[in-house]
Amino acid sequence: MTTAPERPAPTPLAPGAPRSGTTFLGLPTAPRGVGHLRGDRSFPDAARDALRDGQLRANLGHATSTIRAKRAKVVGEVPDWEELRQAGKALKQSTMARLDELLVQLEDQVTARGGTVHWARDADEANAIVTRLVQATGADEVVKVKSMATQEIGLNEALEAAGITAHETDLAELIVQLGDDAPSHILVPAIHKNRAEIREIFLRTMPQFQGPDADRDLPDEPRRLAMAARTHLRERFLRARVAISGANFAVAETGTLAVVESEGNGRMCLTLPQTLITVMGIEKLVPTWRDLEVFLQLLPRSSTGERMNPYTSTWAGVTPGDGPQEFHLVLLDNGRTAVLADEVGREALHCIRCSACLNVCPVYERTGGHSYGSVYPGPIGAVLSPQLTGVEDNASLPYASSLCGACYDACPVAIDIPSILVHLRAEHVEAQERTTPEAVAFRALSKAMSHPRLWRLTQRAAGLGRLLARGKPTLPPVLPPPVSGWTRSRDLPTPPRETFTQAWAREHGR
Amino acid sequence: MSAREEVLSRIRTALGERRPDVVVPRDYRTADERPAEQLREVLVDRLEDYKASVLHCGPDEVGATVAAALDTGLGAGWDPASVVVAPGVPAGWRPEGATEDDARPAVELAAFAATLTGVAVAIAETGTLVLDGSPLSGRRAVSLLPDCLVCVVEAGQVVGSVPEALPRLDPNAPLTMISGPSATSDIELQRVEGVHGPRTLVVVLVS
Amino acid sequence: MRVALFATCLVDTVAPQVAMATARLLERLGHEVVVPPGQACCGQMHVNTGYRREAVPIVANHVRAFAGAEVVVSPSGSCVASIHHQQAMVLRRAGEEGLAAEAEALAERTHELSQFLVDVLGVTDVGAYYPHRVTYHPTCHSLRLLRVGDRPLQLLRAVRGLDLVELPAAEQCCGFGGTFSIKNSDTSTAMLTDKMANVLSTHAEVCTAGDASCLMHIGGGLSRLRSGTRTVHLAEILASTEDAVSPQQTTRPAVSA
Ligand code: SF4
């Protein structure tokens, strides 16, 4: 069985430490001490352990290769995929350029249709708003549709502290919640678990399997496991008075919100309870109703590899006689405006959370999502988390990529993730107040590489490394750090007697 | 400053004075020129791919075909009273003795075995039926709680692609886009049909 | 044509045979090869590690070194990609508008070897002979930034004696990633292991690619395993001819530095 790390407690605050950083324009990043955007270990440290978990590696390898093949097939059958992608990218760019205006428009539309709009500067404020709204209904439990925003702000913990139980209803979220685990994927939070592990969690935790008379016959067939979840949640759906959801899209022009899902748990939450509370990052907007024609084509094919997901629900405010009669929309900043201030990094706000970049990422496939320490793992997490928290709070993430570019190719809104990674690396380097040994080396190398004479001398010095080889074709495997990072698993060739430019000059008489 | 004012002012600070003027290229396909007959074939192919069942019929045979659809979904010998129909469903489509949805609390709908509704539009390329909360489609809970859903799609309702469907829909209506029975890919990313929504979807396609 | 060869810092220093093979190949095809002596590095390693300010003088040196060149060819996909996608951006960010424009113009004249051969010279059969079982790894930057497509395969298919075998999961990164291979050594090694398993499953004698850096990574791993498969740059294969085959030679390419 995979031993999943317990979800790290929110990063403790050192006495007197600032609650959050600010960017150069003075815009605050997501506060520390609340939510799940920061890990307690650096990526390389966490990854080292994950890589040794054979079960995890097998589960992830199996799941990601399945979904990659499905996605490739359904994307391949769309002749205008690239055109849709470019339209999606431009729509998000134009949304960001008018974000203030569009949010106000959305607020007007939602309000006009009987909804109430709340604004939250950060996780704490959003949690407080939602808690207050739930308390006002008198309910002590809520049903939840899978939502990244509420994961990000640690809403379940905040509700629990107020004595309110949150029931996750998405199958994978349920697996994570019952297993007392942390999500490791945007779309399939329990992707790190296989059927046998899921069966074990269900048998151990679901009330239907407890007690002396319980029928504990549960094969590890996915269909039977899904049925167990159906039984487990049915009653909860029918009695729920309050639901909490996220939103995939919000249309500014019409006040329409959209949730894209598969299982029908979303429909249950969006339809049956009396009160619906939707928490949405301020970047989830699209300007017009028509714009959904682009995203409803891009999202399902990129995420589950289906032509269309089983259910997409849209609603605007309150509809008399149909669905919740009280609707609240919480608009969340929590560092997003700080991301928006970075002209290169703001592209990360275009993300529609399809998870295609995770599924194609060779790093994610091997390390899994927990290594990233944030609810946003994989390539998008590596560019989003450090920006939401300030780069120094997630400094190892921008380096958690070989820059292979598979994420950029897969991204349905063409986010140039590798370029943002490189940009954030520079932000990290430039934020260092003290000179690191690495910086000394890179500066020296920069000097050499910009002065041809000095460079030839440097090359000669490097060539002397061949003395270490004592005539063998490779250098000894034990070398001091940082070279040991290489030589622990790979040989280094012995440097040649002569560089190419030397040899050429000799041949051509210079 | 209120949170609203503060968030809006942060956005203005972040964006600065010079905002890019973005032109959105819309050179993707917005119309599917294929003849209606072909679109219907595509729709059937997609629906069946999602493990939905499709029955065909002429305009005069809807009632009988709905009964056959319920046979498919519930097995022969079903009780007409256990079928709930959306209030706008034409009398000719309804099984005799079926229950019409009224203002009862939504959760009571869970007691029904099957639902019969029409649709607002169907999208061939994605195999999607759109229900729009109108009397013909019913309120959202009616197509959600019973375990078997029968939808009648009329000839003029099939469009080729998503961009053709949206202009036909009211953005302020509570819409449900349904593509096959409820499903999940949450276990090893393998698709399994049938979770919380109806586990059986039968489509009656009228020509 | 008079072709300026950009060896790249890595090839020049540790894999000189790759640049020598490139030069021999271009000469054999009837072109004059020059090696601008001021060349050092394209700046990629600095940019990708976060030292974009420190990359500015390196890029400036590169632009200076190749200022007079009519056309530049390099046996490295990732360095050419950096020249195309990063150099001007780095200079612009540092306020070096004039140099950035020069870098852009230079990028237009700079080609990765397989693209130069197939697109500019219009040849796929370069008259090479290399009687070995070979598999080809499409390196990430060649594949996704330069979009070299199947050009290297076209070139390899025309090599006499060469038995080309398909590499399973070829498009997966080998785990090199520049300083990634050191900063995230464990993850890099895990990626490398899978790449090597695929390479070894082909029973190829040689794994080739268009980037000496990725080959050094894969080759370093294969050598550590004491596997019989070695890595050889595409240029070295294309430079090999029947005349140059010697009795001592096994998979070692005919041209050495
Ligand atoms: S970055 Fe792109 S590929 Fe990754 S989750 Fe977001 S939209 Fe999908």
For residue A473, what pLDDT is reported? Answer: 86
Query: What are C57's two structure tokens?
Result: 């003088």
Q: What is the share, in percent, of chain A residues with pLDDT greater than 90?
A: 88
Q: Taking 50 as the threshold, does the pLDDT of residue A1 lie above it?
A: no
Mean pLDDT of A38-46: 96
Q: How far is B15 from chain A (nearest CA, A)?
A: 6
What is the CATH code of the structural domain delimited by A50-332?
3.40.50.10420
Band (A30; pLDDT cuts 50, 70, 90): very high
A263 or B194: which leads in pLDDT: A263
Domain definitions of chain C by residue range? 2-120, 133-244
For residue C253, what pLDDT is reported? Answer: 62
Mean pLDDT of C72-90: 97
Say if B and A touch: at least 3 Cβ pairs within 8 Å. Answer: yes
For residue C50, what pLDDT is reported? Answer: 97
Residue A451 φ then ψ, to 5°: -130, 100
- Tell me the CA–centroid distance for residue B29 and ligand 1, in Å: 23
What is chain A's mean pLDDT, rounded?
93
From the list A474, A493, A503, the residue facing C20 with the nearest CB is A503
Q: Which residues of B touch A256 (CB under 8 A)?
A: 171-172
Q: How far is A116 from chain C (nearest CA, A)?
A: 44
A383 in contact with ligand 1, CB cutoff 6 A: no
Band (C246; pLDDT cuts 50, 70, 90): low
Band (C231; pLDDT cuts 50, 70, 90): very high
**Does the beta-carbon distance from B15 to A340 stay under 8 Å?**
yes
**Does the beta-carbon distance from A402 to C175 stay under 8 Å?**
yes
CA C142 to chain centre: 8
Distance CA A10, CA A31 (A): 11
| Nearest atom in ligand 1 to A353's CA | 5
Question: What single DSSP character describes residue A372?
Answer: G
Provide CB contacts within 8 A for B74, sequence distance 6+: B82, B113, B114, B148
Q: Which residues of A touch B185 (CB under 8 A)?
A: 67, 188, 262, 304
Spelled out in words, what is the top-level CATH class assigned to the domain B33-206? alpha beta
CB count within 10 Å of CB C222 equals 23
CB count within 10 Å of CB C228 equals 12
Question: What single DSSP character describes residue C166?
Answer: P
| Nearest atom in ligand 1 to A410's CA | 3
Q: Which residues of A touch B46 (CB under 8 A)?
A: 307
For residue A4, what pLDDT is reported? Answer: 47
Q: How far is A435 from chain C (nearest CA, A)?
A: 13
Longest dimension (CA), chain C: 57
Look at A367-371, C135-139, C253-257 and tell me which has the smallest mean pLDDT: C253-257
Locus of tokens 């009964």: B67
Query: What are A105's two structure tokens?
Result: 């428009």
Q: Taking 50 as the threshold, does the pLDDT of residue B179 lie above it?
A: yes
- Start-to-end Cα distance in chain B: 61
Mean pLDDT of C194-217: 97
A353 in contact with ligand 1, CB cutoff 6 A: yes
- Helices A452-463 and A500-507 cross at an angle (nearest 10°) of 110
Locus of tokens 């020598």: C20
Band (B137; pLDDT cuts 50, 70, 90): very high
For residue A469, what pLDDT is reported? Answer: 84
Distance CA C250, CA C247 (A): 8
Residue A133 φ then ψ, to 5°: -65, -40
Q: Are A192 and A366 in contact (CB under 8 A)?
A: no
**This model's pTM is above 0.80:** yes
Selected from 2.40.160, 3.40.720, 3.40.50, 1.10.472, the CATH number assigned to the domain covering C133-244 reads: 3.40.50
Mean pLDDT of A209-228: 91
DSSP conformation letters of B114-158: EEEEE-SEEETTTTEEEE-SSTTT--GGGGTSSSEEEEEE-GGGE
Distance CA B178, CA A313 (A): 9
What's the complex ipTM? 0.96
Strands B128-131 and B99-100: unpaired
CA C84 to chain centre: 15
Domain definitions of chain A by residue range? 50-332, 464-507
Model confidence pLDDT, tens digit, residues A331-377 = 999 999 999 999 999 999 999 999 999 999 999 999 999 999 999 99
Model confidence pLDDT, tens digit, residues A173-193 = 999 999 999 999 999 999 999
For residue C113, what pLDDT is reported? Answer: 98
Model confidence pLDDT, tens digit, residues B41-62 = 999 999 999 999 999 999 999 9
Q: Are B114 and B82 in contact (CB under 8 A)?
A: yes
Mean pLDDT of A103-124: 98
Paired residues of A331 in beta bridges: A119, A280
What is chain B's mean pLDDT, rounded?
95
SS3 content of chain B, % helix, strand, coil (to 5): 35, 20, 45
In angstroms, the Cα distances linking C44 to A111, A419, C132, C148 are 52, 12, 33, 19
Q: Taking 70 as the threshold, does the pLDDT of residue C73 lie above it?
A: yes
Helix (H) or strand (E) holding C157: helix C151-157
Mean pLDDT of C70-78: 97
Question: What single DSSP character describes residue A493?
Answer: B
Band (A2; pLDDT cuts 50, 70, 90): very low
Report which protein residue has its CA nearest ligand 1's atom 6: A351
| Nearest atom in ligand 1 to A407's CA | 3
Model confidence pLDDT, tens digit, residues A43-95 = 999 999 999 999 999 999 999 999 999 999 999 999 999 999 999 999 999 99
Band (A19; pLDDT cuts 50, 70, 90): low
Q: Taking 80 as the threshold, does the pLDDT of residue A289 lie above it?
A: yes
Distance CA B80, CA C23 (A): 84
Band (A38; pLDDT cuts 50, 70, 90): very high
